[in-house]
Amino acid sequence: MKIILPLLILFSFTAHAQIADFILLKKGAKTIKTIYADNDISFTTTSGSYLTAHINAIKNDSLFLQQYVIRYLPTTLGTYIIDTAGSYRYIYHYNQIMAIGKAEKKGFNTKGSGASLFGGGILLTVASGVVWLVDRKKFSAPLMIASAALATAGYFMAKGGSSGMVIGKKGYKLVYMNMSNNKK
């Protein structure tokens, strides 16, 4: 009996919690990511600035963000400590988000390989041009054409793709979920 009474008192108190507003990142009908308060977010705004910040709250279609300024300070022992020098607070409407995050690098890096191919193609094209100017008997037109074609292919490989999920392209969209009791 002594154990049952405290258990009954403990279980008789109920807590009611309200779920905060959140934002869904969708591709078509599929939810890719759910954005809640107290999470970190990285995005590019419609004005072109890139921001990585902590979400303090999501209310009334807006994200209340806090970005911390962190510095590495040297110690007398030759090591470094991390110091928070300050913070900035921002408020962004969810429609001001142009792209979320950066694309994850998995497998073959097309942009890096394209840049290498572009650089090598330009170098071979310039070298073939120098050979043509100096000694036209040793000049190889197929080599120059192939190197120019590789440089062009490398340029388009390096240029392609985006660094994040661009809202409005390829079916990406943000959906604000209002969970408050006062519906308008």
Share of the chain above pLDDT 90, in %: 30
pLDDT tens, 161-184?
Answer: 656 788 888 888 999 888 876 655
Single out the residue of 164, 29, 54, 36 nearest to residue 103, CA to CA: 164
CA distances from 69 to 3, 6, 39, 50, 165 (A): 52, 49, 17, 15, 26
Average pLDDT, the chain: 84
- Check pLDDT > 90 for residue 54: yes
SS (H, E, C) 130-155: HHHHHCCCCCCHHHHHHHHHHHHHHH
Higher per-residue confidence, 57 vs 11: 57
Provide the pLDDT confidence category of residue 13 given band limits of 50, 70 and 90.
low
Report d(CA 163, CA 99) in Å as an integer.
8
Report d(CA 83, CA 72) in Å as an integer.
6
Per-residue b or e along 152-181, where b marks 16 or more CB atoms closer than 10 Å to that residue's CB:
eebbebbeeeeebbebeeeebebebeeeee
- Check pLDDT > 60 for residue 105: no
**For 19-103+162-177, CATH number?**
2.30.30
- Check pLDDT > 70 for residue 103: no
In a 3-state reduction of DSSP, which class is residue 93?
strand
Higher per-residue confidence, 33 vs 164: 33
Q: Which residue has the tokens 């959140």?
A: 22
pLDDT tens, 110-124?
Answer: 778 888 999 999 999
Every domain of the chain and the residues it spans: 19-103+162-177, 110-159
Does residue 34 come out as left (phi exceeding 0), alpha (psi in the -120 to 50 range) or beta?
beta
- The whole-number average pLDDT for the span 66-91 is 92
Least confident interval from 2-6, 24-28, 101-105: 101-105
